[in-house]
Amino acid sequence: MTKTTLIENGTLYSPSGMQPDGWLLIRDGKIVDKGFGGAKPGKVERVLDAQGQWVLPGLVDLHIHGAGGFDASGKNLAGMQKVLPLHGITSFLATSYVTPREVLEQTIREMADVIHQQAFGAQIIGIHMEGPWLAAKQHGAADPALCYALTQADIEHYQQLAGGHIRRITFAPEEGNTMQVIPWLRDHNILPSIGHTDATYEVTRQAIMLGVNHATHVYNAMRGLHHREPGTVGAILDSDAIMAEIIADGHHVHPAMMRLLIQAKSPERVCLVSDAVLAAGMPDGEYPWGNLNLIVRDGTCRLADGTLAGSIMLINKMMQVLVEKVGVSIQDAIHMASTSPARQLGLNKGVLDVGYDADVVVMEESYQPQMTMIQGNVVYES
């Protein structure tokens, strides 16, 4: 018998709005009942009073490289599992970046080892490899000399090193014979994500038809919108078959462009991602990251030449940017930070309803969690 927990007196999230005076009943790591008002279940072992604050499903970040001084690329990944619940993030894809082959191989092995350990804290759903299969022309902070076209042999090799834990890869579909690999990725439960790409509208359409159903940080490091050549961005805006992720830190994308994206695609097809690096949640200063030097100042993280190199904001605070600078409702912001990414990976999460995993966050209107629960266990309390 596991403990039955009641979270009461909360303003509960639902896709249609925030409803006050709600409660959730939790047993064996799942939500087993929910309701509103006075008629609560009688006998429970533990009662958590949400004190009228928001109660939302745990946040899911599909693109994060590090936080709180911990890098996802290697052994320190375990540290991220402890840090992320402080920000309401209950599950994530640990994201690697472009490094020389020997380094990347070692990194992927170490990440898989950490995943096997199943440590206490935020759940690592799997590995997201952001390249090296990127277009040199849209390399962002990656070294273009280390980028090359995706092949099936290469991804099979990395998937073997990862013990099957690679769940997503970012690649440029226009490079080499990459298009041929897309159906294989879908068949092998790897989310094919177009990104760091110079693909035209036509090439992007083809890639979507072949199975590409996710787009890596839309607008950033991809061919932009032009009225005669809609580009990668235009094809993504124009298709219901592809999920768009966006870095909503207020620095990577202008609020008007975020608003256009969300209006074109609806919150069902947009995910908030942090693209955070290890310096997220750390003071201003310089942080070495592989052979890069990250300079953190005024809310941004840049290379010496000014190129943005990931963000230092996590998705709980990005919800605040969406609400305050983009004009999105709080329920739509939660949808994009939890429901959409959970659904994209087929997780039993991201919804506060009977039968779903009890990944629950009690959050103040300052977007700071007061309590974070993962599968029924309280992993953080302020």
Give CA–CA dist 29/213, Å, rounded: 30
> What six digits make up the tokens of 7?
């979270």
Three-state DSSP class for 367? coil
Closest-CA residue to 255 (of 338, 318, 330): 318
Instruction: State the minimum distance, in angstroms, from the CB of residue 195 to Zn ion.
Output: 8
User: Catalytic one among 61, 198, 275, 359?
Assistant: 275
Instruction: State the minimum distance, in angstroms, from the CB of residue 39 to Zn ion.
Output: 47
Q: Where are the alpha helices (DSSP H) in the chain?
A: 77-83, 101-117, 152-161, 182-187, 201-210, 231-237, 255-265, 315-321, 330-334, 340-344
Instruction: State the minimum distance, in angstroms, from the CB of residue 196 to Zn ion.
Output: 9
Q: Assess whether the previous peptide bond of 132 is cis (omega < 30° from 0).
A: yes
Of the pair 34, 317, the CB lying nearest Zn ion is at 317
275 is catalytic: yes
Q: Where are the alpha helices (DSSP H) in 136-227?
A: 152-161, 182-187, 201-210
Q: Where are the alpha helices (DSSP H) in 118-193?
A: 152-161, 182-187
Of the pair 142, 379, the CB lying nearest Zn ion is at 142
Of the pair 162, 374, the CB lying nearest Zn ion is at 162
**DSSP assignment of 64-94:** E-EETTEESSSTTHHHHHHHGGGGTEEEEEE
Of the pair 72, 363, the CB lying nearest Zn ion is at 72
Give CA–CA dist 72/60, Å, rounded: 15
Positions that interact with Zn ion (CB under 5 A): 130, 275
Of the pair 12, 141, the CB lying nearest Zn ion is at 141
Of the pair 198, 275, the CB lying nearest Zn ion is at 275
Instruction: State the minimum distance, in angstroms, from the CB of residue 193 to Zn ion.
Output: 11
Distances (CA, A) of 321 to 219, 247, 310, 369: 17, 10, 17, 16
Three-state DSSP class for 10? strand
> What six digits make up the tokens of 234?
């235009």
Residue nearest to Zn ion as judged by C-beta position: 275
Instruction: State the minimum distance, in angstroms, from the CB of residue 97 to Zn ion.
Output: 6
Phi, psi torsion values for 104, nearest 5 degrees: -65, -40
* Active site amino acids: 275
